Every structure is written in structure tokens, then in C-alpha cells.
């Protein structure tokens, strides 16, 4: 454990992504468990907006931020990193729009 | 001692004079090739990454499938085996993610608890997967 760590305000430090990855992960455990076990039964709770909303929003962020971390581990080229990040953004925005379509269609 | 502004960020001296030595001992440097040792943390990290990729792809394809753009995916994941794989991936990723939070914010990185916590994660993964799999097959 790092004691006495203080955020110094660097915009590009990755601290916000790191923190949001952990917060979203903990929330996702709850909503995915509710969705999964509810869908096995009647699906009543699993299809509510209060479950699907955070599941899609935080799920897409958590997924693509995780993919970005993997990319940063294995891709050295700055240009390729930017290209792959742009692809992640396109996939993420598309998935978010489709998720809204799915939720609104329920 | 060399001032920071006289060095670039790799620790290489930009100017040459008597006090500037290569390589600098006070900077953390990494070898070009890192050889990984077999370690509990390595196993946990690898499984976390594999399960994360499975879950990530599942979530995205699930959304595309439900929106009507990947109907084949619903058929592919409709059987119990595929659901079990996703369940195992989710349960392990969740518990190991919680372990990572403990490493970051609590005493999870200490030697005496590190391996024990990983074993707890594995045990919980097995137990919860069995509990979750019962309704899938019943």
C-alpha cells in the first residue's frame, strides 16, 4: 500500500482511468450478478433500466479501458496506439448507441 | 550531480562533462528483455487478462447481437457450455478484481497474504461457478 500518495493534478497521469476502472469494476460485479441470475429465472429485475443502464455504460468503459491497457502493454508505436485507440472509441460509441437502442426497445 | 534539466527522460546525458556518467545509477531502468518468473501474481494476472478479454468480447457482441447486428452470436452462446465459460470468466475476473482493489488500497500486496488471497479467489471461483451452473443445467 502506498501511503501519503497525493494527486498532483497531472491531466495525463492515467489516475482518473485507474480509479474509474476500479469503481466501475465493483459496480459491475453487482449489476452483472443481478442481470445474470435474473435472466436465468424470470428476467424481471435483469431487464430494468437501473440494472441495464450501469451495466452497459460502465461495462463498455471497463472493457475498452482494459483493452487500451493491453494495447499499451504490447504496442510500442505511438501511431499504432493512436489508431487502435480511435478504433476503440468508434466501437465504444457504436456499442453505446446500440445499447441505448436495446434499452429503449424493451 | 547532474541537474534534471540536463538529462532527457531516459537518463542519457545531453551534455558531456566530468560529472555526467552513463548509465546513471540513481534512475530506475528496465532491461530490454524482461524474463518472467513463474509466480502466483503472474498466474493471477494472466488469468485476469484472458477472462477480461472473454468478457469484453462477450459484452460487445452481446450488445451487437441484441441490437440485431450479430444474430449468430446468440446462437453461439445459447448453449450451456458457452454460458459456463462466460460464468467462470466473470466469477474469476470479479473476485480477482476485488483482490487487486485490496492490493491497491489495503494489505493485499504483503507477502504473507498475497498467495493466500489468490487461493481464496480460486476457491470462491470454483464454489460460485458451481452454484451459478446449477440453474443453467436444471
Q: How confident is the model at residue B2 (pLDDT cuts 50, 70, 90)?
A: very low
| Domains of chain B and CATH, by start | 1-34 (no CATH), 40-137 (1.20.1300)
Q: How confident is the model at residue B40 (pLDDT cuts 50, 70, 90)?
A: confident
Give me the pLDDT at residue A106, please: 66
Give me the pLDDT at residue B93, please: 95
Each domain of chain A, given as residue ranges in start order, spans 15-104
Please say if the pLDDT value at position B6 is more than 50: no
Q: What is the mean pLDDT of residues B12-23?
A: 55
Angle between helices B80-105 and A15-40 (to 10 degrees): 140
- What is the C-alpha to C-alpha distance for residues B87 and B58, in angstroms, rounded to an integer? 11
- Mind listing the pLDDT tens digit for each residue in B91-133? 999 999 999 988 888 877 777 788 888 999 999 999 999 988 8
Q: What SS3 state is found at B7?
A: strand
| A-proximal residues of B, 57-116, CB under 8 Å | 59-60, 63-64, 66-67, 69, 87, 90, 94, 97-98, 100-101, 104-107, 109
Residues of chain B positioned with their CB less than 8 A from the CB of A37: 132, 135
Q: Do A29 and B98 touch (CB under 8 A)?
A: yes
Give the cell for residue B28: 530506475
DSSP annotation of B10: T
Q: Do B104 and A22 touch (CB under 8 A)?
A: yes
Q: Taking a C-beta distance cutoff of 8 angstroms, is the pair B95, B89 a contact?
A: no
- What is the C-alpha to C-alpha distance for residues B113 and A74, in angstroms, rounded to an integer? 30
Give me the pLDDT at residue A56, please: 92
- Mind listing the pLDDT tens digit for each residue in A44-84? 777 888 888 899 999 999 999 999 999 999 998 889 999 99
CATH placement of domain A15-104: 1.20.1300
- What is the C-alpha to C-alpha distance for residues A47 and A25, in angstroms, rounded to an integer? 20
- Mind listing the pLDDT tens digit for each residue in B20-29? 555 555 554 5
Q: What is the mean pLDDT of residues A8-25?
A: 80
- What is the C-alpha to C-alpha distance for residues B108 and B100, in angstroms, rounded to an integer? 7
Amino acid at each position: 500500500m502506498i501511503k501519503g500518495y497525493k494527486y498532483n493534478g497531472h491531466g495525463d497521469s492515467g489516475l482518473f482511468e485507474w480509479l474509474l476502472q476500479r469503481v466501475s469494476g465493483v459496480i459491475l460485479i453487482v449489476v452483472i450478478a443481478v442481470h445474470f441470475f435474473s435472466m436465468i429465472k424470470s428476467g424481471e429485475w435483469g431487464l430494468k433500466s437501473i440494472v441495464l443502464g450501469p451495466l452497459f455504460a460502465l461495462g463498455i468503459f471497463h472493457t475498452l479501458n482494459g483493452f487500451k491497457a493491453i494495447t499499451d502493454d504490447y504496442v510500442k508505436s505511438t501511431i499504432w496506439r493512436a489508431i487502435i485507440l480511435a478504433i476503440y472509441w468508434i466501437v465504444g460509441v457504436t456499442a453505446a448507441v446500440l445499447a441505448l437502442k436495446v434499452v429503449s426497445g424493451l | 550531480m547532474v541537474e534534471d534539466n540536463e538529462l532527457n527522460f531516459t537518463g542519457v546525458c545531453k551534455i558531456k562533462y566530468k560529472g555526467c556518467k552513463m548509465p546513471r545509477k540513481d534512475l530506475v531502468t528496465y532491461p530490454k528483455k524482461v524474463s518472467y518468473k513463474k509466480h502466483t501474481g503472474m498466474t493471477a494476472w494472466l488469468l485476469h487478462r484472458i477472462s477480461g478479454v472473454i468478457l469484453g468480447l462477450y459484452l460487445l457482441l452481446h450488445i451487437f447481437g441484441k441490437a440485431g447486428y450479430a444474430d449468430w452470436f446468440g446462437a453461439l452462446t445459447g448453449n450451456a457450455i458457452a454460458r459456463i465459460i462466460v460464468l467462470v470468466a466473470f466469477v474469476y475476473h470479479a473476485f480477482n478484481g476485488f483482490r487487486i482493489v485490496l492490493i491497491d488500497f489495503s494489505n493485499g500486496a504483503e507477502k504473507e497474504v498475497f498467495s493466500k488471497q489468490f487461493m481464496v479467489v480460486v476457491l470462491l471461483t470454483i464454489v460460485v461457478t458451481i452454484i451459478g451452473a446449477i440453474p443453467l443445467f436444471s
